[in-house]
Amino acid sequence: MNVKKIVFPVDLAGSSYRIAPRVRSIVEKLNAELHLVKVVEGFKGYDTFFIPHRSLDLMDKDNIGLAERDLEEFAQKYFEDFSAIKLVVLRGDPVEQIRNYIVSEGIDIVIEAGRHDSFLERRLFGDMAGKIAQNSPVPVKVIDPFEMGRKFHYGESAMTDNTAF
Protein backbone atom coordinates (compact mmCIF):
# COMPACT_ATOMS: atom_id res chain seq x y z
CA MET A 1 0.00 0.00 0.00
CA ASN A 2 1.43 3.35 -1.06
CA VAL A 3 0.50 5.91 1.59
CA LYS A 4 0.78 9.52 0.51
CA LYS A 5 -1.77 11.25 2.75
CA ILE A 6 -2.58 10.56 6.39
CA VAL A 7 -5.35 12.21 8.36
CA PHE A 8 -5.04 12.54 12.13
CA PRO A 9 -8.36 13.67 13.61
CA VAL A 10 -7.48 15.48 16.83
CA ASP A 11 -9.71 16.32 19.74
CA LEU A 12 -7.05 18.58 21.28
CA ALA A 13 -7.50 16.72 24.54
CA GLY A 14 -5.15 14.38 26.34
CA SER A 15 -5.47 11.47 23.91
CA SER A 16 -4.31 13.47 20.89
CA TYR A 17 -1.30 14.73 22.79
CA ARG A 18 -0.42 11.24 24.03
CA ILE A 19 -0.31 9.63 20.58
CA ALA A 20 1.19 12.58 18.66
CA PRO A 21 4.77 11.22 18.94
CA ARG A 22 3.63 7.87 17.53
CA VAL A 23 1.76 9.58 14.69
CA ARG A 24 4.86 11.64 13.98
CA SER A 25 6.96 8.48 13.77
CA ILE A 26 4.52 6.80 11.35
CA VAL A 27 4.26 9.86 9.10
CA GLU A 28 8.04 10.22 8.98
CA LYS A 29 8.52 6.53 8.22
CA LEU A 30 6.03 6.66 5.35
CA ASN A 31 7.20 10.09 4.14
CA ALA A 32 3.54 11.10 3.86
CA GLU A 33 1.62 14.35 3.96
CA LEU A 34 -0.09 14.87 7.33
CA HIS A 35 -3.57 16.37 7.64
CA LEU A 36 -4.48 17.46 11.18
CA VAL A 37 -8.26 17.77 11.36
CA LYS A 38 -10.29 19.22 14.21
CA VAL A 39 -14.09 19.12 13.99
CA VAL A 40 -16.12 21.65 15.97
CA GLU A 41 -19.65 20.41 16.51
CA GLY A 42 -21.26 23.82 16.88
CA PHE A 43 -24.50 24.66 18.61
CA LYS A 44 -27.02 22.95 16.35
CA GLY A 45 -29.99 21.95 18.46
CA TYR A 46 -29.42 24.62 21.10
CA ASP A 47 -31.35 27.21 19.13
CA THR A 48 -34.53 26.16 20.94
CA PHE A 49 -33.16 27.57 24.20
CA PHE A 50 -33.77 31.20 25.04
CA ILE A 51 -30.51 32.53 23.67
CA PRO A 52 -30.58 35.14 20.93
CA HIS A 53 -29.49 33.55 17.65
CA ARG A 54 -26.86 36.22 17.14
CA SER A 55 -25.23 35.08 20.38
CA LEU A 56 -25.11 31.49 19.16
CA ASP A 57 -23.54 32.63 15.89
CA LEU A 58 -20.89 34.62 17.76
CA MET A 59 -20.15 31.70 20.09
CA ASP A 60 -19.83 29.43 17.05
CA LYS A 61 -17.33 31.80 15.40
CA ASP A 62 -15.40 32.04 18.67
CA ASN A 63 -15.22 28.24 18.90
CA ILE A 64 -13.92 27.98 15.34
CA GLY A 65 -11.30 30.65 16.06
CA LEU A 66 -10.20 28.91 19.26
CA ALA A 67 -10.01 25.56 17.49
CA GLU A 68 -7.83 27.07 14.74
CA ARG A 69 -5.50 28.63 17.30
CA ASP A 70 -5.30 25.44 19.39
CA LEU A 71 -4.69 23.29 16.31
CA GLU A 72 -1.86 25.58 15.22
CA GLU A 73 -0.28 25.38 18.69
CA PHE A 74 -0.62 21.57 18.64
CA ALA A 75 1.04 21.40 15.22
CA GLN A 76 3.88 23.68 16.33
CA LYS A 77 4.50 21.56 19.41
CA TYR A 78 4.57 18.14 17.73
CA PHE A 79 5.07 18.70 14.00
CA GLU A 80 6.93 22.02 13.81
CA ASP A 81 9.48 20.81 11.26
CA PHE A 82 7.01 19.07 8.94
CA SER A 83 6.84 20.70 5.53
CA ALA A 84 3.96 18.56 4.24
CA ILE A 85 1.27 19.36 6.78
CA LYS A 86 -2.22 20.71 6.45
CA LEU A 87 -4.29 22.11 9.34
CA VAL A 88 -8.06 21.96 8.92
CA VAL A 89 -10.94 22.96 11.18
CA LEU A 90 -14.33 21.69 10.11
CA ARG A 91 -17.79 22.34 11.51
CA GLY A 92 -20.53 19.77 12.02
CA ASP A 93 -20.87 16.11 12.93
CA PRO A 94 -17.34 14.71 13.45
CA VAL A 95 -17.98 11.33 11.82
CA GLU A 96 -19.67 12.83 8.77
CA GLN A 97 -17.15 15.66 8.38
CA ILE A 98 -14.11 13.38 8.68
CA ARG A 99 -15.58 10.89 6.21
CA ASN A 100 -16.30 13.69 3.72
CA TYR A 101 -12.79 15.06 4.21
CA ILE A 102 -11.21 11.65 3.58
CA VAL A 103 -13.06 11.36 0.28
CA SER A 104 -12.54 14.95 -0.88
CA GLU A 105 -8.79 15.02 -0.11
CA GLY A 106 -7.91 11.51 -1.30
CA ILE A 107 -6.67 10.41 2.11
CA ASP A 108 -4.98 6.98 2.22
CA ILE A 109 -5.23 6.13 5.94
CA VAL A 110 -6.58 7.53 9.20
CA ILE A 111 -4.64 7.40 12.45
CA GLU A 112 -6.61 8.19 15.55
CA ALA A 113 -6.65 7.79 19.30
CA GLY A 114 -9.16 5.38 20.74
CA ARG A 115 -9.68 3.17 23.74
CA HIS A 116 -10.73 -0.44 23.81
CA ASP A 117 -13.34 0.19 26.49
CA SER A 118 -16.02 -2.12 27.74
CA PHE A 119 -19.47 -2.16 26.18
CA LEU A 120 -20.86 -0.17 29.12
CA GLU A 121 -18.16 2.51 28.84
CA ARG A 122 -18.79 2.86 25.11
CA ARG A 123 -22.53 3.22 25.70
CA LEU A 124 -22.09 5.79 28.48
CA PHE A 125 -19.27 7.89 27.02
CA GLY A 126 -19.52 7.18 23.30
CA ASP A 127 -17.00 5.70 20.92
CA MET A 128 -15.96 8.31 18.40
CA ALA A 129 -12.97 6.26 17.19
CA GLY A 130 -15.19 3.28 16.51
CA LYS A 131 -17.76 5.38 14.65
CA ILE A 132 -15.08 6.99 12.48
CA ALA A 133 -13.53 3.59 11.73
CA GLN A 134 -16.88 2.04 10.82
CA ASN A 135 -17.68 4.88 8.41
CA SER A 136 -14.23 5.32 6.91
CA PRO A 137 -13.70 4.38 3.26
CA VAL A 138 -9.96 3.89 3.98
CA PRO A 139 -8.00 1.85 6.56
CA VAL A 140 -7.99 3.17 10.12
CA LYS A 141 -5.19 2.72 12.63
CA VAL A 142 -6.42 3.19 16.18
CA ILE A 143 -3.82 3.77 18.88
CA ASP A 144 -4.75 3.41 22.55
CA PRO A 145 -3.27 6.51 24.21
CA PHE A 146 -2.95 4.74 27.55
CA GLU A 147 -1.34 1.56 26.33
CA MET A 148 1.03 2.67 23.62
CA GLY A 149 2.41 -0.84 23.10
CA ARG A 150 -0.98 -2.44 22.51
CA LYS A 151 -2.73 -2.15 19.14
CA PHE A 152 -6.33 -2.87 18.35
CA HIS A 153 -8.65 -2.41 15.43
CA TYR A 154 -12.23 -1.67 14.47
CA GLY A 155 -14.30 -3.12 11.69
CA GLU A 156 -13.33 -4.11 8.18
CA SER A 157 -11.50 -0.88 7.43
CA ALA A 158 -8.96 -1.50 10.18
CA MET A 159 -5.32 -2.14 9.43
CA THR A 160 -3.77 -5.43 10.48
CA ASP A 161 -1.21 -5.91 13.25
CA ASN A 162 1.45 -6.79 10.69
CA THR A 163 1.58 -3.29 9.21
CA ALA A 164 5.05 -1.89 8.76
CA PHE A 165 4.49 0.68 11.45
Encode pLDDT of 69-82 as tens digits: 999 999 999 999 99
Interatomic CA distance for residues 31 and 156, integer angstroms: 25
10 Å CB burial of residue 73 (0-12, 13-18, 19+) is exposed
Phi, psi angle pair for 111, to nearest 5°: -120, 125
Report pLDDT digits (tens) over 20-35.
999 999 999 999 999 9
Q: Which domains does the chain have, with CATH numbers?
A: 36-118+127-152 (3.40.50)
pTM: 0.75
